[in-house]
Amino acid sequence: MLKKILPSNIYEILEHKVNLGSINEIRLREDKPIVLLIGGQRIFLGNNGVTSNLKEAIRPSKIMIEDIIFRASECSIYSVNEQLKKGYLVTKGGIRLGIGGDLVEEGGKVKTMTNFSSLNIRLPHEVRNCSLPVFNNLLSEKGIFNTLIISPPGAGKTTFLRDFVCQLSERNYAYNVLVLDERGELDLGSSGSIGNFADKISFARKSIGFENGIRALSPNLIVTDELGQKEDIDAINFAINSGVSILASVHSDSMDSFLRKPNFDSLIKDRVFKRYVLLSMRNGPGTIEGVYNENFSRIM
């Protein structure tokens, strides 16, 4: 998919002069150097591959940025307007484009985004077995503990969730899993990406997705990414009260900062989550810093 959305000259440099599989992010800003994030390191992209020399860095034009967005929308910007309003766009293969530009408001509501000026292309990776070190810690006698994956942005939350669902499938845990893929990032569309026992609801708000999913698909486990809003917490409570387990993720860089996060007080006080997995980028994305129980005591 990356080949389809990037200008051919940029793609060829990435393919032949940089290890494409090692790239986590590609940042393009109008007339500014292209920056690659590789294994936690930021480096410029030049015509001969990666470079630390600012003068050699390729600088994308506004037209190039607009064209990438146009291509990523499959030549149909209008069809992804709801995503653009939230400042991102997800392609078929799960490549996520964070987009900078001008938000157009009308009557107090965001109507669309125009005048695109920057892009953060995040390349998803299937890191097989990345959840294995903690896999058994998340299983209870009755099923799966309600679990929250805590990590800063780009540290592998989504990859962890995806792999965990896959591991369940590979081990023939025939739980009915509902993947609520609000931003279209969890399922890469490749074979086996979310295993054999998962249903998927994409691009729905958690409040709607949880309610519809529980009623229609009767899952044992709901997997979802990036909790944050009050309505997400209400959706979690709705699921828990319906007897469904939750595996979710949240942005935070430590247990302390997580405990100070707004909206999560009731979940913490009621000990809704029985397991917390803390990820970091210390040794590259996906570094498992620890597993904690509902009392926030470290168990691994």
Partner 1 sequence: MKYLLLTALVAISVFVGFIFSKKYKTRANFFQALVMLCQKFDVEINFSRERLKNIFLGLDEKQKRQLQGIDKNYIAYIDQEIPLEKDSLFKSIKFLKEDEKDLIFMFFKNLGRSDVDSQSKEVKNFQARFETLSSNALVENKKYGSLSIKLGIIAGLVIVVLLI
Q: Which residues bind partner 1 (CB under 8 A)?
A: 4, 70, 73-79, 81, 84, 111-112, 114
The residue among 37 and 97 lying less far from partner 1, judged by its C-beta, is 97
The residue among 76 and 295 lying less far from partner 1, judged by its C-beta, is 76
The residue among 81 and 176 lying less far from partner 1, judged by its C-beta, is 81
Q: Where are the extended beta strands (E) located within the chain? A: 23-29, 35-38, 41-46, 49-51, 88-90, 96-106, 109-122, 147-151, 177-181, 198-202, 221-227, 245-251, 275-280, 287-293
Smallest gap from Cβ 151 to partner 1, in A, equals 33
Tell me if 164 sits within 8 A of 247, measured CB to CB.
yes
Smallest gap from Cβ 116 to partner 1, in A, equals 11
Residues whose CB is less than 8 angstroms from the CB of residue 45 and which lie 6 or more positions away in sequence, other chains included: 10, 13, 14, 18, 26, 33, 34, 35, 36, 51, 57, 58
Smallest gap from Cβ 7 to partner 1, in A, equals 11
The residue among 80 and 148 lying less far from partner 1, judged by its C-beta, is 80
The residue among 84 and 161 lying less far from partner 1, judged by its C-beta, is 84
State the residue for tokens 């592998």: 156
Smallest gap from Cβ 81 to partner 1, in A, equals 5
The residue among 75 and 215 lying less far from partner 1, judged by its C-beta, is 75
Summary count for the chain: helices (H), strands (E): 10, 14
Distance CA 157, CA 141 (A): 25
CA atoms within 13 A on the CB side of 136: 3
- Tell me how crowded residue 74 is: count the other CB atoms within 10 A of its CB: 13
Distance CA 234, CA 238 (A): 6
The residue among 70 and 135 lying less far from partner 1, judged by its C-beta, is 70
Q: Provide the token pair at 240.
A: 């828990």
Smallest gap from Cβ 64 to partner 1, in A, equals 15
Smallest gap from Cβ 106 to partner 1, in A, equals 9
DSSP for 18-30 reads S-GGGEEEEEEET
Smallest gap from Cβ 24 to partner 1, in A, equals 25
